[in-house]
Chains A and B, each alone.
Chain A
C-alpha cells in the first residue's frame, strides 16, 4: 500500500485538510458534550444510596409535612436515623445572578447519613454546636471566595426576618463530595435555628418540613418501610409518599422536560451536518485526483488499492478531527461541570462518551470515503487520464 501517498495527499491540501479536521472536531466536541449531559443524569441516579428513603407530601412538592411526623415515624422498625430537610430558597447577590440551594437540616443525623461527604476545611463539630452556623460546598466557597469563619448574608423569600434584614450564617465547615449523589454547591444550616426564629417571632413563614430523610439499618427491606410510613398517614392530615433516593432524584430530573429526546434530536442534526461536510470534502478530493488515479492505475496499482487509499484518507481526517474534538471536550469538562451543576447534576465525560465520539468519527470517515473510493476503484486508467479536472 502506498501509505506515503496518503500523507502527501493530506498535506498537499493543508487548508482543506485543516478545515475538514476542524469541522469534524466541532461536531465530535458537541456530540460529546450533549452525551455527557444525559450520561451525567444517569450517573446521578445510579449514585443514589439504597439505604436512604425520602418522605414527602403525596399532594405537592410545595406542601410541608408537620413536625410531629418525625416522632411517629421513629417507631417504624428498621429506621436508624431521621433527618429533616427544609428548602430555604433565600437569595445571595441575586443582582449578580448568584443562585444556590440552601437547606435547613438536622446537624446530628445529617453527616452520618451521607458518608459520601467529606469535610475538607473547618470542623463539623463546630457546625453542630453553633446555632447560626452553616456548612457549604467547596465549589460554592471557591466561587465566592468564602473562608471558614466568614458570615454570609442571605435574603429570605419564603422565610423573611421580621426586622427586614438578611439572615446571617457563619461558615463553620466546608465539604466536598466525590459522588454525584451530593453536589458541591449547596449550603446546609441548622433547621433548629430556623424553627426557633419562627417560633420566637424573629421571622415569618411556614413552620414545617419539606422532606424527611430516613436512613435504614443494614438489611432492612425498603419496601416494608415505605409501606409502613405511607400507611401511617393515609388519613391525613397530610398524606405522604415515601420513595427511594433514586426515584426522588428522577422526579426532579423529569421536571426539566424531555431533555434526552431534545438532545438526541440536536445530536442527530450535528451528525447530519458533519456527514455532509466530510462527504463533500472527500468527493472533491476524489474528483481532483482523477489524473493521479489514472497514473497510479497505469503503473499497476490495483482497483482495491486506489479505493482504499481514499477511504483511508477520509478516516485519517475524521480520526484527527475526533482527537481534537475529544481533546477540546476534556479541556471544557471542568468549567462546564461547575457552570451547570445547579441545574444539570453530574455533567462529566466517561469512557462511553469518548468512545461514542470516536465511533462516530470512524463511521462518518468510512461512509464518506466509500463513495469517492468506489468511483476511484471503478475508474479505468484510460478514462482517468483522458478526463481533465
Chain B
C-alpha cells in the first residue's frame, strides 16, 4: 500500500508556519515544566548517589532511618569499630572506622534568613575512611582536640561567618574556621570539627553513627542479623551507597510526583491545543485531502500521514521545551533533606531527562492527532473537493 510521502507533511508544517509555531510553543511550555521537575530530581539524586561507596559501612541505631534520628553511645561505637571482623584495618592495625556526631545547626544565611546546616563531629580516622573523596582546598585540617572547624565549599556563598579565619559560635563555645574542603555530594554542604570538642560544646555525649571501611565481600544483612540479639549494641548496618539512596528517596519521589501531576494536567491542555490546531489545518486543507484521495491514497495512508504530522509537531514541541529549560543548567539551589539540613544541588538536564521529555511530547502529539487524522481519513474525495 502506498503511503503519502513524508515530504507532504513536512512542507505543510513549514507553509503553515505560524500555526505550527504556536502549537509548538504551547506543547513546549508543557514539556518545559516536566523537564524542569525531572532536572531538579536528577540534580538531587545524583548529588547523593555519586558519592555512595559499596565498601564503606554506615552503622546506625536499630530502627533509625537517618543520622538525625540515630544515637549510639561511645561504648557502642567502640564495639562496632574494634570488634566487627568485617572492618578493615590500616598498616598499623588500627580499624578504619570513625564515630561521627551529626546535628542540623541553625546558622545565618547571607540573605538574612536562618537555615539549618549540618555540623559533623568526626574522629581523625574519618579522613582515612573518606580517602580521596574529601580534600582540603584552602587552609588546613582542624587539629584533633582543638576548637577548630573546616567548612564545605558549598556553604561559602550561602552562609555567613564561614570563611577561613572567621569565628563561629557553637552554643556557648567559640570555634575558629581553619580550612575549606571539597567533597562529593552532601559533604560539601557540611561543617566538620573534632568529635569530642563539638560533643562538649553542644552537650551531646552521644554519637550518631559509625562509618567504616569494610571488606569488599561484606554481607550487610548478615552483619545486622549477627548482632540482632547482642545486648550491648544492635546496629543497623548498610553500605554507604544504600544509606544515601534511602536518604534521597522521599524528596526524589516528591519532585517526580509534582512533575508528573503538573505534566498530566498541562498535558491535557496541550492535547486540546494540538487537536484544535490540527483540526483547523485539516478543514483548511480539505481540498488537498480530496486530491490525495482522488489520486488513489487509501484512508489508512492518509490517517498515518496526519498522525505522523501530529507526532512531528509533538517532537518539535519537546525540543522547544528542552531549549526552554537548558538556560537553567547548572543553576544551584538549596533545599532541606531528610535530616532537615540544607543541601545545595544543581539543576541537571541530562540526556535521559531530555529523551523522557521528548517522548512525552511525542505522546501528546499522538493523542492530539488521533481525532483529526481519523476525520481526514474518513472524508470522501467528492465531499472533500466540494468543501473548498
Contact = CB atoms under 8 A, between A and B. Distances in A.
Interface stretch (A115-123, A141-149, A274-282): A274-282
B125 interface: no
A277 B171 contact: no
A241 B270 CA distance: 50
A59 B201 CA distance: 10
Interface in A1-57: 15-16, 19-20, 22-23, 26-27, 29-30
A236 interface: yes
A107 B388 CA distance: 81
Interface stretch (B18-26, B81-89, B239-247): B18-26
B210 interface: no
A258 B115 CA distance: 12
Secondary structure call for the A interface:
helix
Given A157-B64, A276-B29, A280-B276, A30 B266 contact: yes
Contacts of A157: 63-65, 69
A277 B269 contact: yes
B266 A59 contact: no
Interface string B165-193: 00000111000000000000000000000
Interface in B87-134: 103-106, 113-116
B171 A238 contact: yes
A98 interface: no
B172 A235 contact: yes
Interface stretch (B49-57, B300-308, B331-339): B331-339
Contacts of B68: 62
Given A26-B269, A60-B103, A266 B33 contact: yes
Q: Chain B interface: which size bin?
A: 35 or more
A389 B284 contact: yes
A157 B68 CA distance: 11
B106 A60 contact: yes
B171 A59 contact: yes
Given A269-B32, A269-B33, A257 B266 contact: no
Nearest to B269: A26
B336 A283 contact: no
A74 interface: no
Contact of B336 (A29, A257, A287): A257
A29 B262 CA distance: 11
B32 A59 contact: no
Interface string B276-306: 1101100110000000000000000000000
Contact of A255 (B29, B276, B284, B340): B340
Interface string A42-83: 000000000000000011111100000000000000000000
A331 interface: no
Contact of B276 (A16, A237, A238, A257): A16
Contacts of B385: none
A283 B68 CA distance: 58
B276 A277 contact: yes
Contacts of A258: 333
A342 to B, nearest CB: 12
A376 B272 CA distance: 26
Interface string B259-277: 0001001101110110111
B30 interface: yes
Contacts of A19: 272-273, 275-276, 279
A382 interface: no
Contact of A283 (B22, B204, B279, B334): B22
Nearest to B37: A266
B114 A269 contact: no
Given A22-B269, A257-B333, A269-B33, A284 B202 contact: no
Contact of B272 (A26, A256, A388): A26
A158 B105 contact: no
A281 B276 contact: yes
A200 interface: no
Contacts of A16: 276, 279-280
A63 B103 contact: yes
A154 interface: no
Contacts of B336: 255-257
A92 to B, nearest CB: 15
A114 interface: no
B270 A273 contact: yes
A301 interface: no
Nearest to B287: A389
B154 to A, nearest CB: 15
A280 B22 contact: yes
Interface string A250-268: 0100111110000001100
B279 A15 contact: yes
A270 B280 contact: no
Given A30-B266, A255-B336, A279-B22, A273 B29 contact: yes
B113 A254 contact: yes
A160 interface: yes
Contacts of B268: 22, 26
A119 B55 CA distance: 55
A60 B104 contact: yes
A20 B388 CA distance: 25
A292 interface: no
Contacts of A276: 22-23, 25-26, 29, 273
Contact of A59 (B28, B33, B106, B324): B106
A280 B19 contact: yes
A272 interface: yes
5 contacts: A19-B273, A22-B272, A23-B276, A257-B335, A270-B33
Given A22-B272, A23-B276, 17 more contacts: A16-B280, A19-B273, A20-B276, A22-B269, A26-B266, A30-B265, A59-B106, A254-B115, A257-B333, A272-B25, A273-B270, A274-B269, A276-B23, A276-B25, A284-B280, A288-B280, A389-B284
Interface of A: 15-16, 19-20, 22-23, 26-27, 29-30, 58-63, 89, 157-158, 160, 235-239, 241, 251, 254-258, 265-266, 269-270, 272-274, 276-277, 279-281, 283-284, 287-288, 388-389
Pairs A-B, 6 closest by C-beta atoms: A273-B29, A26-B269, A257-B335, A277-B273, A280-B22, A284-B280
